[in-house]
Amino acid sequence: LKISSAGVRLIKPTYVMTCLDMPLTQAVCPKTLVQQDPGLHARLLSLIDSGFQFVFREEHNQVEIGRHPACQIVATDARVSRRHLRIFRDGALRYFAQGLSDNGVFINNNFMKKGDTRTLKHGDTVSLCVPAHAVDDVPFAAFIFLIVHGEPGRREADCHSDESESTTASESTGALKSDEWVRDNWDIRTKIGSGSFSEVFLGVRVRGAADGRERHAVKVVDKGKFQKFRNKRESNLALSDEAELLGSLRHHGVVHVSEWFETTAHLYLVMEYVPGGDLLRCISEAGAFLEEQGRRAFRQLCEAVGYLHARGIVHRDLKPDNILLTSRDRESMHLKIADFGLARKNLQSSDCRTFCGTPHYFAPEVIHTFRNGRGQDGGYGKQADMWSLGVCLYIILSGVPPFHEDGLYEQILEGRYEFDDVEWESVSPAAKSCVRSLMTVKPEMRARIDQVDKHPWLAAHRELERHSSASSVSTVEWSDAKRHRSV
């Protein structure tokens, strides 16, 4: 096998690689594989090239990966040492990884330096030099390690899950599954995020997969923690709300959920994997967007929010860390809204009365609702999302938040934010006007999603793209002075 920056490809001699007789998408059940091939012990499945797997057979007591032609797996990237990584097993069929290079190896995103030895477990990711799901670099030799035979602690009974339990999205979605079913059908190992009552893992389907070994983001919700959250917030959120909501959405600006299922203790959301990280990290590491880049990104957000609002959905927790990126290239990235754990569907004009979201992005009416009590008149609706969009735009263009920690709620209630920081010196008046139209204290004076789409800062650029005349577009009158007085 040779691995290069262009991907993974198989070369002769054939003894380097042994292919299974069954398709890669067929059920991966330890007992079945042992019956078909008792010499088969474990496999390395490439996360780069879906056509590659390296099979650890009885004769493979150890395997080396490196640039040297004598290695069983040869990686040609210049960062790879002659002998970079050694994988070996002991008499109890336990597998270990030993680092042989100063450039290191990542096991589940944990760096392993030269001389370190670590146990390899079923479902671990192994990647040379860069993490398997790196966003700032491109992984070139990344694998998932699967133990087929002899793994301590894996029960043979795991194979006896009900054969009627299909792994297709249409048949598994919403169904109650056993923990054994989850282990048989999914490799969920590397954690890539966490929240109050859930964790997000990199997941690979290993049974009945129509998508080969495509990576997914699998959100695992702890039912017990969710119930405590629900009781604390006096919330009426049902545990399946987010699953059903996301599963019904089809928009390029919204993270897609292909299926969901649950066990007695957890709910699993199988989502598309968005490799570019989140918007908050992007801004924290690389600073504010150039205005044209920011306008492009913000238009994408507005399109997605428009889609949600047209379906009566209020997100209620719009913020940069809930906005995922397809890449880190600001000229080509696409933004996708995620994390609908606080969303509400089929709302009336002002139907949200629970104190949900993240304080820096709270709209003034959200704070009023909390202070007045859940049973009071008022509440909040779609316009709360518009305020949060304004805060997001402020941060996109400046790289700094509009409010300070001290007296946060009072600043929000009074609309006390400024454009006098040095970060705003190069931002156009039209862009600032767009921010003001959204960060207006009174929700009835705040721009709606259909209005912000017609704001000159966005509309003029869209008209140029479409080569349409300015007179054909109906606009809303915008007055910075009026907006400022309303605050």
Nearest to 141 by CA among 11, 216, 47, 205: 47
What are the phi and psi torsion angles at 264 (to 5°)?
A: -65, -25
CA 15 to chain centre: 39
Q: What is the DSSP string of 422-446?
A: GGGTTS-HHHHHHHHHHS-SSTTTS
Gap between the Cα atoms of 36 and 394, Å rounded: 60
Residue 13, preceding bond cis, omega within 30 degrees? yes
Cα angle 336, 339, 344 (rounded to 5 degrees) comes to 110
Which distant-in-sequence residues (6+ apart) come within 8 Å of 436 by Cβ?
480, 483, 484, 487
Nearest to 276 by CA among 257, 292, 259, 297: 297
The side-by-side arrangement of strands in the sheet containing 105-107 is 53-57, 40-46, 142-147, 125-128, 105-107, 110-112
Residue 342's Cβ-count burial label (10 Å; 0-12, 13-18, 19+) is buried
Q: Are 165 and 172 in contact (CB under 8 A)?
A: yes
Which distant-in-sequence residues (6+ apart) come within 8 Å of 114 by Cβ?
99, 100, 101, 102, 104
Active-site choice (124, 184, 317, 339) = 317
* Gyration radius from the chain CA atoms: 26
Gap between the Cα atoms of 361 and 384, Å rounded: 9
Stated length of the chain = 487
Gap between the Cα atoms of 459 and 446, Å rounded: 18
Q: Which helix (H) or strand (E) holds 259?
A: strand 257-262
Question: CA-CA distances (angstroms) from residue 461 to 372, 391, 426, 470, 476?
Answer: 42, 21, 18, 10, 16
Half-sphere exposure of 43 (CA within 13 A, CB side): 20
- Active site includes 317? yes
Question: Active-site residue numbers?
Answer: 317
